[in-house]
Amino acid sequence: MAAPQFVTIVVPAFNEGASIGSVVAALRSAAPWHEVLVVDDGSTDGTGQAARDAGARVIVHPYNKGNGAAVKTAIRGSDSEWLLVFDADGQHRPDDAIRLAARLGEFDLVVGARSAETQATTGRRLGNAVLNSLASYLTDRPIPDLTSGFRGARREYLLEFIHLLPNGFSTPTTSTLAFIKAGYNVAFEPIGALPRVGTSKIRLASDGAKFFLILLKVITIFSPLRIFAPISAVTFVLGGAYGLWNFAYHARFPNGAVLLIMFSVMVLLVGLVSEQISSLRFEGRR
């Protein structure tokens, strides 16, 4: 268990002036945290001052960089062993932060996994379900909530992956996959989510596509054969079946079948080389 005095609560905030004061006050009264660190990501509504008045340490971005950039600023700017990221919009309960912190130490990353019924809209629930299913296949373990930003982790390991973390809203996706594929201990702690104060900054169409692309990017970095091997197998089967059918009925092996088989072999070879590169990047890791 990570004692609260060794845990920094990180609150990325952009124009959350309506909720940030009460969020900081509730966190500070819930446990004797090392500190509550609010990163004001270029807000224009007094978010930073409201957080400061409530007792948080505040780091201010001169302009809006994105949720991920705010988290990276906190990773660099904190000096505690553990970081716990907490939303500024009032969706999360301080008691849940205590439960997540209690599992740190046994686990290197603990993610607050939201139940489906507490997620905002049907479209959001469906989108998250698709991402969770794909991530579960790619990592070969169940992932109940890939995109939850409510999480605690060892700061040393976050620094290890900081160059992979995007500046936008896909930092939770990237960090979860990076920790799992690197072999660190990852747990998912069930939580509920309250209705947020204000409006969401996430747009399902554009940000959903970004989540999907980042999901593929991280897996091709850490486990490329999970992508390349199935593509190779499918194209090889299609090429072989197409060639055998033509040979049986027309006594010839068509160029299209040859191209499909050659393509499958090339994809597999690229996957094998990528897998070796992926393995080499972990040599000499701490």
Q: Are residues 50 and 183 in the same domain?
A: yes
The stretch 49-75 carries a mean pLDDT of 96
pLDDT of residue 284: 46
CATH number at residue 138: 3.90.550.10
pLDDT tens string 90-146: 889 999 999 999 999 999 999 999 876 665 566 667 777 887 887 888 788 899 998
pLDDT of residue 205: 54
The stretch 223-235 carries a mean pLDDT of 90
Q: Are residues 111 and 239 in the same domain?
A: no
The 3 state secondary structure assigned to the chain is CCCHHHEEEEEEECCCCCCHHHHHHHHHHHCCCCEEEEEEECCCCCHHHHHHHCCCEEEEECCCCCHHHHHHHHHHHCCCCEEEECCCCCCCCHHHHHHHHHHECCECEEEEEECHHHCCCHHHHHHHHHHHHHHHHHHCCCCCCCCCCCEEEEHHHHHHCHHHCCCCCCHHHHHHHHHHHCCCCEEEEEECCCCCCCCCCCCHHHHHHHHHHHHHHHHHHHCCHHHHHHHHHHHHHHHHHHHHHHHHHHCCCCHHHHHHHHHHHHHHHHHHHHHHHHHHCCCCCC
Q: Are residues 188 and 176 in the same domain?
A: yes
pLDDT of residue 197: 60
pLDDT tens string 201-211: 555 555 557 66
Q: Which domain holds residue 23?
A: 4-222
Residue that terminates a domain, selected from 185, 204, 222: 222
pLDDT tens string 142-191: 999 988 999 999 999 999 989 888 888 778 888 998 898 888 999 999 99
Residue 255 lies in a domain: yes
Cα distance between residue 133 and residue 140, in whole Å: 10
Residue that terminates a domain, selected from 200, 222, 244: 222
Q: Total structural domains in the chain?
A: 2
Residue 267 lies in a domain: yes
Question: What residues does 114 pair with on adjacent strands?
Answer: 191
Residue 286 lies in a domain: no
pLDDT of residue 207: 57
pLDDT of residue 202: 52
pLDDT of residue 261: 95
Cα distance between residue 262 and residue 242, in whole Å: 13
pLDDT of residue 23: 95
* Whether the predicted pLDDT of 235 surpasses 90: yes
pLDDT of residue 134: 79
Residue that terminates a domain, selected from 204, 222, 240: 222
